[in-house]
């Protein structure tokens, strides 16, 4: 076991629970907006005072309907004001919110709802309600939008919760211990079925206290937020970074799906900080290079920094922001660590793959096999209904085994791979497929995903999935960087990729990492088919199973060749 890595910065005091934090911030910020979303083509702000009033009313009405401390409430909804209010009301009163991805299929959503065994279920609309197989079995079905089947006794429209039961306007939960579970969040399930993580008031608030020492956020900051709240990046890290510091959380109503809508909202909000996955930064960077007006819009004089996580941000993309003196901060963490463990220092030159040093209160160490272990007040209570797995990953003295493999560098922790993705070739040489995948995809906007495999074979092979949306753009608009051939079709891309893959092979750390054959597949991976996780990461186990015949052909060309594919031989 290696040395322990930490920070000299002390973790400051933080509120005992969410109710205390909300009450304190309301006194501080009063009529200042906590949240805003677009109504009639303009942002409609919600003040801290109104937010507290709504939460107090919701809590009283939920309590009157039988919700008590420790009860669970499942929530199926995209980000919206009502979800924010009811989630904070549930959590701060001592109950447990369980947000579930609104894009899940009916079968999967219903399975997760049943698994968490909720007393109440909250749905955005009839589309989400249709995913619940037995709505009558729950104490209440709370719906944001009108629903036709409201004759059932347990159906409650959200507006009914806002009717104040008393005039006290006080938030319940001020005496709740900091180690009380308040949030259960499903992992993205990259390597298998999602696990349900139990997080406490202290997990969330300790992390934000740590970040406050590093970033100095305040009520003058403005967030433009599209990251989904069922996922830890948006639902914990970004959302509570805004709320705990009194900043304005502005909903990006396109939910990150359309870069042009992001730009429209960027113009209205003029965010001072922006949190995103690399895909959005790549799209923004492409538009910046084409249009000076967009460049001026993005790099306004109040933008302080951008934050990225979930996947490596290509160096050429971060360079564009750095050239405009906008710090690019990268972080790493997991749902089980609420979620952030490390962040980079914007004053230190960015290193590819390096995700920084531990935040205050968090310590790391590497196991003998390179697995990263984490300890701190941000580490989860455990997995719901899964004591065996909890015991495997949480030691008695509080160390959490992350499943990520890394190494120390002078600049901080460098991520290598998920432990269970590393495989051995037939010659017993170890291959880290994510290193190859990242190298192949990082500078090519025409590729959406790469999947590398090769266990027990003589060499690795790759399946490549195109970013099909880019081919709908004009040639001039789709040009990503100098030296790119800018293919106009999938077939052109296959020819272009042969040259790109040869370059990637030349950059591989070891000769046995070199790809000898690849297949470009004219197909879009989807969340609905579980080929992608809700956070848009490739699910390798599923992709490997679905495209088993494609992989077999790459190792034996006598095997049948699937349709809509382009085989690339590299020798």
> For the chain, which residues make up each domain, given as ranges?
46-176, 422-569
Residue pair 173/18 in contact by the 8 Å Cβ criterion: yes
Distance CA 378, CA 14 (A): 13
Model confidence pLDDT, tens digit, residues 533-546: 887 889 999 999 99
- Provide the pLDDT for residue 547: 96
pLDDT of residue 188: 81
Q: How many CA atoms lie within 13 A of 462 on its CB side?
A: 34
In angstroms, the Cα distances linking 224 to 37, 121, 221, 291, 536 are 10, 28, 10, 21, 20
21, 201 contact by CB (below 8 A): no
Give, in degrees to the nearest 5, the angle at Cα 486 between 544 and 432: 30
Helix (H, G, I), strand (E, B), or coil: what is residue 149? coil
**Where do the H-state alpha helices sit in 490-564?**
490-507, 540-546, 548-555
Verdict on whether the full-model pTM lies above 0.85: yes
- Length in residues, the chain: 571
Report pLDDT for 480.
47
What is the CATH number assigned to the segment(s) 422-569?
Answer: 3.30.300.30
Name the residue among 521, 460, 453 with its Cα closest to residue 491.
Answer: 521
Looking at residue 191, its pLDDT comes to 61
DSSP state of 430: E
Phi, psi of 448 (to 5 degrees): -90, -40
Q: What percentage of the chain carries pLDDT values higher than 70?
A: 95
Beta strands in 293-370 (DSSP E): 305-308, 328-333, 340-343, 357-358, 363-366
Q: How far apart are CA 245 and CA 462, in angstroms?
A: 45
Dump pLDDT digits (tens) for 338-354. Answer: 999 999 999 988 887 89
Q: What's residue 306's pLDDT? A: 98
- Please give the C-alpha separations between residue 515 and each of 67, 117, 148, 363, 541, in angstroms, as whole numbers: 57, 47, 56, 37, 20
Mean pLDDT by 10 residues, the chain (571 residues): 86 98 98 96 96 97 97 99 99 99 94 98 98 96 88 89 78 97 90 88 98 97 98 97 99 93 97 95 89 96 96 88 96 97 93 93 96 98 97 97 95 94 96 92 84 97 89 48 66 88 90 95 90 86 95 93 91 73
- 46-176 topology per CATH: Rossmann fold (3.40.50)
Burial of 145 (0-12, 13-18, 19+ CB in 10 A): middle
Place of tokens 């992709």: 543
Q: What is the pLDDT of residue 473?
A: 53
């Amino acid at each position: 076991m290696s040395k322990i890595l930490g920070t000299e910065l002390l973790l400051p005091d933080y509120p005992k629970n969410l109710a205390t934090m909300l009450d304190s911030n309301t006194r501080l910020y009063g009529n200042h907006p906590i949240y805003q979303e677009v109504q009639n083509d303009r942002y409609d702000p919600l003040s801290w005072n109104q937010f507290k009033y709504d939460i107090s009313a919701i809590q009283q009405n939920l309590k009157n309907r039988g919700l008590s401390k420790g009860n669970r409430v499942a929530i199926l909804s995209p980000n919206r004001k009502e979800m924010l209010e009811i989630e904070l009301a549930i959590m701060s009163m001592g109950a447990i919110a369980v947000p579930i991805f609104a894009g899940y299929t009916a079968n999967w959503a219903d399975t997760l709802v049943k698994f968490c065994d909720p007393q109440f279920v909250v749905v955005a609309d009839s589309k989400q309600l249709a995913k619940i197989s037995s709505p009558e079995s729950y104490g209440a079905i709370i719906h944001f939008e009108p629903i036709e089947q409201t004759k059932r006794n347990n159906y409650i429209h959200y507006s009914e919760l806002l009717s104040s039961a008393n005039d006290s306007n006080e938030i319940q939960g001020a005496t709740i211990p900091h180690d009380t579970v308040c949030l259960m969040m499903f992992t993205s399930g990259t390597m298998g079925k999602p696990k349900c993580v139990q997080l406490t008031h202290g997990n969330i608030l300790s992390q934000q206290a740590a970040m406050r020492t590093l970033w100095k956020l305040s009520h003058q900051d403005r967030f433009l937020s599209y990251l989904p709240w069922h996922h830890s990046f948006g639902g914990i890290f970004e959302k509570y970074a805004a709320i705990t510091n009194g900043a304005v959380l502005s909903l990006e109503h396109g939910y990150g799906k359309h870069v042009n809508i992001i730009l429209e909202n960027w113009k209205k909000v003029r965010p001072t900080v922006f949190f995103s996955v690399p895909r959005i930064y790549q799209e923004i960077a492409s538009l910046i290079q084409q249009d000076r007006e967009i460049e001026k819009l993005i790099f306004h004089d109040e933008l302080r920094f951008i934050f990225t996580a979930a996947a490596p941000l290509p160096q050429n993309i971060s360079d564009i922001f750095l050239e405009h003196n906008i710090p690019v901060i990268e972080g790493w963490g997991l749902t089980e660590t609420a979620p952030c463990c490390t962040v980079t220092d914007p004053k230190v030159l960015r290193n590819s793959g390096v995700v920084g040093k531990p935040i205050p209160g968090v310590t790391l160490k590497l196991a003998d096999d390179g697995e990263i272990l984490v300890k701190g007040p941000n580490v989860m209570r455990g997995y719901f209904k899964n004591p065996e797995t909890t015991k495997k990953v949480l030691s008695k003295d509080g160390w959490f085994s992350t499943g990520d493999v890394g190494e120390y560098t002078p600049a901080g922790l460098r991520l290598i791979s998920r432990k269970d993705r590393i495989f051995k070739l037939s010659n017993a040489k170890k291959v880290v497929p994510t290193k190859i995948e990242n190298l192949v995809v990082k500078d090519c906007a025409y590729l959406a995903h790469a999947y590398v495999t090769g266990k027990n074979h003589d060499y690795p092979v790759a399946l490549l999935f195109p970013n099909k949306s880019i081919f709908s753009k004009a040639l001039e608009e789709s040009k990503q960087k100098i030296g790119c051939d800018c293919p106009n079709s999938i077939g052109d891309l296959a020819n272009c990729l042969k040259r790109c893959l040869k370059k990637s092979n030349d950059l591989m750390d070891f000769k046995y990492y070199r790809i000898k054959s690849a297949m470009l597949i004219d197909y879009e991976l989807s969340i609905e088919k579980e080929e992608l996780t809700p956070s848009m990461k490739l699910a390798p186990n599923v992709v490997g199973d679905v495209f088993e015949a494609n992989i077999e052909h790459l190792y034996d060309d006598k095997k049948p060749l699937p349709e809509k594919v382009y085989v690339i031989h590299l020798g």
